[in-house]
Structure 1
C-alpha cells in the first residue's frame, strides 16, 4: 500500500533549499539576524522560518546570541565542511599541486568541472596572497562560453559530446568581449588548442583575466585555471601557461 502523501517530496525539497538559503544568507550578511530579518530575506512566512530555525537550533547549527540580536551559525557547520573537504578524493590528491601553482604564479588558482546542468562548477579556489586578486568561492557556477575553465573542459570532450553540449549552450553577452556565437566559440577553442592555453581575457568581467588547461584525474575530466587582474594575466600569459601545462602533466603522471 502506498502511503506517500501527495506533495511530500516537493515539500522536502523546498525545505532543503530553505536550509541552504539560510546558510547563504548568513554568509552574505555576516551578522546575527532576527527571525523577522530571516523571514524577509527568505521571502517566507515567519511561522515557516521559525520551524526551520528551531530545527537548526536543536541540531546545533544555530544559536541565539540574544533575544534582541537574533541567531547566528555555530562552528558545527564549519567543522563538518572541513571534514567533508578533507576526505574529498580529488581535492586531497590535487591540493598540494594547486597550492604550489598558486605560490609560483602569485595568482588565484581554481579547480573546475562541468556539471549536468551544463555549467562550470568551481570545486576549489585557492586565493592569491596579492592584495589585488581574483575573488571566488568553491561552489560557484559559471557559463561555459565566457570562462577559461569552461573552454578547457569543452576541449577535453569527444566530438559527439561537444555537439550535444553546444546544442544546450546559451551564449549570453556579458560585455563587448564575450563570445556570442557558436562559430566564435569554436574558433576560440581551436586557437586555444594551438596556443596551448584557453583564455578568458575580460569576456565575463572586463578587468579580470584567466587561463586554463584540462587535466584528467581518475578517469574524470577536470580543469585548472590561473586568474587575476587582466593586466597581470596578459603580461604573464605565456609564462603562466607553461607552468600550468607542466603542473597538469605532473598531476596526470603521478
Structure 2
C-alpha cells in the first residue's frame, strides 16, 4: 500500500533536486569556461544522461544555453549575465552603499568585500569589488568562508550576543588551513578581544599564506554586515594603520547615511 505522506513529499524533493542541478550547471560553466557536450555535463554533474538532457533542453528553450555547433557542446548565453546584473543592481542594501565601497576600493587600491553571516554560520560574500592593481586578491560574490580564518567572519562574530556566540563557537570546525590558522576556541576568542581593542579585525595569511585582510562590522537596516580590504599580505601589512583608518571612516559614514 502506498504511503500518502511519502507520495506528497516526492514532488517537492524532486523540485529541490532539479533546482540544485540548475545551480550546479551554472557553477560548472563558471569553472570550465568552455562549451560542454551533454556527456561531459552529465559526468561533471554525476547525473544520468536522460535527466541531464531534460535540463539542457529546458535551459535552451528558455534562452539560457545554446548549442555552439552541432555536437560541439552547449554554452550559456548573455541572458544569464543580464538577469544577474539586473538582480544585483536592485539589491536593497548594496544599491545604497555601493558608491562607498567603490570609494574604499579606489583609495586603497585593494579588493573590497562586503559579507554577512548565513544560516550555517559561515561568511557569505555578498559583493566583491576587485582591485585595479594587476596583483590583487581574487574572490567572487556567493563564496562562503570559515569564520575563524576570515577577517569578515571575526568582525561579524563580534556583533553577536552571548548566546549566539556560543552557538557559533559550537559549530565552528576550526579547520587548520595552515600553521597561521587559529587553532581553537580560546585563541579565537582572544583574537576577537584584541581586535576590538585595536580597532580592526585581521586575517594575516590564516586561510591563504600570502593573502591578508582587514575588516570592520557595519550595522545596516537592523542587521549586521562587515566590510574588508584584502590583498597581498605584504601590501596589507605595509599599509595597516592607514587602511584600518580608511575602513573605519567609510564604515561610520555608511552607518550614519543608512
TM-score, scaled relative to structure 1: 0.97
Residue deviations 1:94-138, cap 9 Å, x none?
Answer: 100000000000100000000011000000000000010000000
Runs (4+) of structure 1 exceeding 6 A deviation are none
- Aligned position for 1:38: 41
- Aligned position for 2:175: 172
Partner of 1:253, secondary structure, is helix
- Aligned position for 1:216: 219
Partner of 2:132, secondary structure, is coil
- Aligned position for 2:140: 137
Residue deviations 1:64-91, cap 9 Å, x none?
Answer: 1111311111111111111111110101
Partner of 2:115, secondary structure, is strand
Identify unmatched segments of 5+ residues in structure 1.
none
Whether 1:200 and 2:203 are equivalent positions in the alignment is yes
- Aligned position for 1:111: 114
Quick one: distance in 1 between partners of 2:140 and 2:6?
42
Match of 1:97 among 95, 100, 119: 100
Task: Name the count of aligned residue pairs.
Answer: 254
TM-score, scaled relative to structure 2: 0.96
What do you get for the CA RMSD once the two structures are aligned? 1.3
Match of 1:190 among 181, 193, 200: 193
Quick one: distance in 1 between partners of 2:116 and 2:130?
18
Whether 1:17 and 2:14 are equivalent positions in the alignment is no
Residues 36/145 of structure 1: CA separation in 2 closer, same or farther (3 Å cut): same
Quick one: distance in 1 between partners of 2:120 and 2:224?
16
Identify unmatched segments of 5+ residues in structure 2.
none
